[in-house]
Amino acid sequence: MYTRICNLLLALTVTLATAAPLHADPVNLPDIGDPSGSTITPQQERQLGESLVRRMRQEHLVVDDPLLADYIDSLGYKLAANADPQPNPFTFFIVKSPEINAFAAPGGFIAVNYGLILTTQSESELAAVMAHEIAHVTQHHMARTYQAAGRYKWATAIALLAAVLVGGHNSQLGEAAIAAGIAGNAQLSINFTRGNEKEADAVGIRLLENSGFDPDAMADFFGRMQRATRLYGNQLPEFLSTHPVTGSRIADARSRAAQMPHHKVKENPNYFLAKARLRVLMASDPARAQSQFADELASGSYQDADAEHYGYALALTANGKFAQAREQLAPLIKKHPDRIFYLAAQAQLDLASGKTAAALRLFNKALLIYPNNHPLTVYYAEGLLTAGQPEKARSLLEAYVRERQPDAEVYRLYARAAGDAGHLADAYQNMAEYYFLNGQTHAAIDQLEQARKLPHLDYYQAAQIEARVRELKAVARQESN
């Protein structure tokens, strides 16, 4: 479904434009300043992006693994910290698609397909693609086009994006809806995209260097993608369709990088561990994944030995071969006893093999080292619920949400823990947030309606529920327009 989103998002914005295309220099475009001067405000951009992500989650197309989410966040925030300030915070996530692609959505949302992550050969290459997408946001590429969207309503953008999403399961429906809007504007879209792509390359390379990554990585990745074209024939990877790679573009990227100071880049071990974890979690056949890791270890055909043993341990665990998995993990933990990827793998192995008490002790110890760590908190809460300790799980999650913004999985676990512990209002409220983040707005409202029927609600909680019902009903009306 998402193999066409990057193109269609840009085509959508061009479709909405009623004025002539912008002809400013594609690299030295004038600063448009506060994007509030456009017909779409930063708040509306964020709402549009949130709506898009909720629809993606509704279709189960977002990778929800806490460790992987934390990894892509940490990489994204490292880049964003050196980018131009934006009115909306950046949000990074991984899409369940083997296609090689990434895209920037309105409101600062940056999506990376897992297929692209597995295709990169260094963290700098992955950072290069993400820096390119961040540059689309910081340079206001979407805002510039929306600025020309004089007579179209906000609801039109929502409807067209929804058509793209529905088109994943009914491609004719999605493509017909888009085609109706972009007819006659194909060349305009191409011209606009080329300028954006060139500017995003230039800004992205500078962002790479400022963030401590290899500025040559963008040209390196583009070069490998160009060389791969002869293997694909007419069936190009979506990255090459949405980000056309030419010899001049690669040369331009290489030239820009050459003008920047170079320093030795130490590879982040979590990059290789994240790739190994993705290979196991996204594998359609765990037994095949196990065999692949075993073959690669036997032949020495891998980039990082520790990550290869880690991936093999995960695959063995997934196949119920717990003793062998322990043999793979033990040397890794001895070598790096505080590495979160290994601690989580060990504790989850203990849970899977019935050693619940050992798993809980390990999670508790790890959280003393890393208080409020997202993946460790989620996994520990799951372990506590498995062990029949919902009140302890609820207390753990309550402390977490006081300090950090919860995601859908935290809301789900909090709802379950609160319900099992007899805190029904908390259970309904948290389940409502879980449903909302997963694109089920009406189901979220139903949960809150159930909550406000409960007896003995205190004034504060009742008022909180009422206010949230009004907010979600407003969102539901917008989504249905």
Summarize pLDDT for 38-66 with one digit per residue, the tens: 457 888 788 888 988 888 898 888 999 99
Per-residue pLDDT at 230: 59
Checking if the pLDDT of 464 tops 70, the result is yes
Closest CA to 393 of 373, 423, 413: 413
403 class by beta-carbon count within 10 Å (0-12 exposed, 13-18 middle, 19+ buried): exposed
The answer for residues whose C-beta is within 8 angstroms of residue 142's C-beta and 6 or more apart is: 9, 13, 45, 104, 106, 136
Nearest to 88 by CA among 36, 38, 123: 36
* Residue pLDDT, tens place only, 188-199: 343 446 778 888
Are 201 and 252 within 8 A, CB to CB? Answer: yes
Give the integer Cα–Cα distance in Å for 401 and 355: 28
For residues 416 and 102, the model is more confident at 416
Q: What percent of the chain has pLDDT over 90?
A: 61
Tell me the mean pLDDT in the region 403-408.
94
Residue in 283, 286, 282 with CA at minimum distance from that of residue 318: 286
Token reading at 8? 């269609």
Q: What is the pTM of this model?
A: 0.84
| CB environment 219-239: b (16+ within 10 A), e (fewer) | bbbbbebbebeeeeeeebbbb
Alpha helices per DSSP H over 404-481: 408-420, 424-437, 441-452, 459-480
Kindly tell me if the per-residue pLDDT of 183 is higher than 60.
no
Give the C-alpha separation, 327 to 324, whole Å: 5
- CA distance linking residue 95 with residue 62, whole number of Å: 5
Structural tokens at position 5: 């989103």
Q: Is the pLDDT of residue 416 over 80?
A: yes
Q: Where are the domains of the chain?
A: 2-258, 269-480
Q: For the ranges 51-55, 251-255, 417-421, which has the lowest average pLDDT?
A: 51-55
Mean pLDDT of 229-249: 62
**For residue 387, what is the DSSP state?**
T
| Phi/psi at 112 (5° precision) | -130, 120
What would the pLDDT profile of 333-361 be if each residue is shown by its tens digit? 999 999 999 999 999 999 999 999 999 99
CATH architecture of 269-480: Alpha Horseshoe (1.25)
Q: Mean pLDDT throughout 9-16? A: 38
The stretch 146-171 carries a mean pLDDT of: 44
| Per-residue tokens: 322 | 């717990």
pLDDT in the model for residue 296: 98
What is the pLDDT averaged over residues 64-80?
97
In angstroms, the CA 15 to CA 294 distance is 50
Which pLDDT belongs to residue 142? Answer: 64
Residue 186, pLDDT above cutoff 90: no
- Structure confidence at residue 196 (pLDDT): 80
- With H, G, I as helix, E, B as strand and everything else as coil, classify residue 109: strand
Does the pLDDT at position 164 exceed 60?
no
pLDDT band at 425 (very low <50, low <70, confident <90, very high): very high
Known catalytic residues are: 133, 201
What is the pLDDT at residue 180? Answer: 41
Q: What is the CA radius of gyration of the chain?
A: 24
Alpha-carbon distance of 370 to 360, in angstroms, equals 15
Instruction: Kindly indicate the confidence band of residue 160, based on its pLDDT and cuts at 50, 70 and 90.
Output: low
- The pLDDT of residue 426 is above 80: yes
State residue 244's pLDDT score: 66
**Region 228-251 average pLDDT:** 64
The kind and range of the H/E element at 110 are: strand 109-113
